[in-house]
Every structure is written in C-alpha cells, then in structure tokens.
Amino acid sequence: MTRLTPEVFQKALDHLVAIDPHLAEIRAAHGDPPLRARPPGFAALLQIIVDQQVSVAAARAIWGRLEAAMGETSPGALLALDDAALRACGLSRGKVIYARGLAADIVEGRVNLDALETMEDEVAIAELVKIKGIGRWSAEVYLLSTLARADVWPVDDLAIATATGKVKGFRVRPKRRTLIRLAELWRPYRSVAARFMWHYFRHVLMTPNGGVKHDPARHKKRGKKKTAKPTPKARPKPAKTKAPARKKARNRKRTGKR
C-alpha cells in the first residue's frame, strides 16, 4: 500500500511518461497534473456524494450552498438541517437520504473513517461500500483523492473513461473491461494515470459549464444504410403469332368452316 507523497508522486510522473508516449504528450502540452488531496473524513466523503452524477459546475454550486447552510461541515451540523433545507441546497431526494445516513453512521459510531488509513485498498473499499449511497466509484475516489493511495483506477469515472478513449485514439468511449486492460501498463501508479486523464479532461474536453466538448460515445461510426432490393419487373408475355396457313386449313376442316 503506497501513498502519494510529493516525492513518490514526482517519481510516478516520470515513470509513466517514460513508458507511455500518450502521457508524455499530455505532459508536454499541459504540464503535470496537480497533486490535490482533500483532508480525510466526513466532509470529503459528503462532497463525493454531492459530486455523484452531476456536472463539475453543478457539484461546485451545490457544495457551496451546502457548506453555507451547515456553517461548519460536520455530521452534527448536517443533521441539524431539515430535508427542505438540504433540498434547497440542490441535493436530490436520494442524496438527502445518503447524506443523513452517513452523518448518523458517524455520530452513532457505526462508521470509523479513521480506521481506513491503515487498511489495504480493497479492504478499505469493501468497508466504504457498506455505507448507503457509497458505491465502488465513490470509494475509489475517496482512496485516490483523500487517502492519496498510489494504485487506484476509478474505471467507472465518466471523465476518466472519456479522456482515456480520446488519448488512446478510440472512436467511441472504451468499455469497462478495455479500460481495466489499458490501465495494467500503469501499475503500480494507476492513481497518477487517473490524474493525468482528469488533467487532460479539464484542459481539452471540459466545457466552461463542466460538460464534455466531444463525447466519443455520441459519435459512433455509422454503417452504410441498407437499401431495399428493387422489385423484379414482371416479364412481358410473349406476343401471339399467327398460325401457319396449313394449320389454319386443318382447323377449318375440323370445324366445318370454309
């Protein structure tokens, strides 16, 4: 279990650009990604819940309103707000339930976030996903951005998936299994590769409102349109031909006509 101190982070950056020319291109064009880390604890995990399934700009706005409403970002301060106040901050009904559940779990001692510090990555993830509203993506982001773990790859992160597809030249956003396979090259510093992809996303793909300028998944290569086969024309009936003179004579004898 390696943590990203500034020294380890710099070593990881140099290692990755040496083995992957695509990451070297990102560094040359946009510099190194920053080593940002949130202080561990309730506030960091609550902010990850706020960030779920919304744009970067929307998440920032909601978090700013929530911080202002709480005064201090603590489990007790959140529990002191009623549901209407939390909804007014921009939280969905589901996120109100998740935020309240997290705060209550910490206050009542069911969750000990400090204990995660000494756990191996997968053990810590398994503990985090026991909390209602925390899935694997949220747990991985907490380990990467808060506990500064060196080898976490949040494969379900939309920005990482989109940026990886673009950097690696995919026509469409890569599937989950493809992203996992691509990241094997970056072990044991997949967290740093993830930061490279977020860095690329912010500089190249993100719009001012936090959306995506070009999402490869929306530009799938279209095949040729199938055209209906033409209906075969009916064959013309052969024209009737006059019977030879001898045949006509025989016919007149049979019918008695002259």
Within the chain, all domains assigned CATH 1.10.340.30 are found at 42-145
Confidence of residue 1 (pLDDT cuts 50, 70, 90): confident
The pLDDT, as a whole number, for residue 208 is 73
Cα angle vertex 209, ends 134, 23, to 5°? Answer: 75
User: What's the fold here for domain 6-35+151-205?
Assistant: Endonuclease Iii, domain 2 (1.10.1670)
Q: Radius of gyration (Cα) for the chain, nearest Å?
A: 33
More confident residue, 113 or 240: 113
DSSP 15-61: HHHHH-HHHHHHHHHH-PPP---PPSSHHHHHHHHHHTTS-HHHHHH
Mean local confidence (pLDDT), 250-257: 50
The model's pTM:
0.80
For 111, the token pair is 């969750």
Answer whether residue 256 shows pLDDT above 90: no
Within the chain, all domains assigned CATH 1.10.1670.40 are found at 6-35+151-205
Least confident of 48-57, 62-71, 112-121: 48-57
Contact criterion met (CB below 8 Å) for 192 and 5: no
Q: Output the average pLDDT for the chain.
A: 88
Burial label for 154, CB within 10 Å (0-12, 13-18, 19+), is buried
Confidence of residue 16 (pLDDT cuts 50, 70, 90): very high
Residue type, 223: G
Give tens-digit pLDDT for 206-232. 887 666 765 545 445 444 444 445 555
> Is 167 in a helix, a strand, or coil?
helix
Answer whether residue 30 shows pLDDT above 90: yes
Report the distance separating Cα 212 and Cα 217, nearest Å: 11
For 140, the token pair is 């991985």
Mean local confidence (pLDDT), 156-184: 96
Q: Does domain 42-145 have CATH number 2.40.50.140?
A: no
Contact criterion met (CB below 8 Å) for 143 and 124: yes
Alpha helices (runs of H) in the chain, residue ranges in sequence order: 6-19, 21-30, 42-51, 56-70, 75-79, 83-88, 93-107, 121-128, 136-145, 158-167, 176-183, 190-200, 245-255
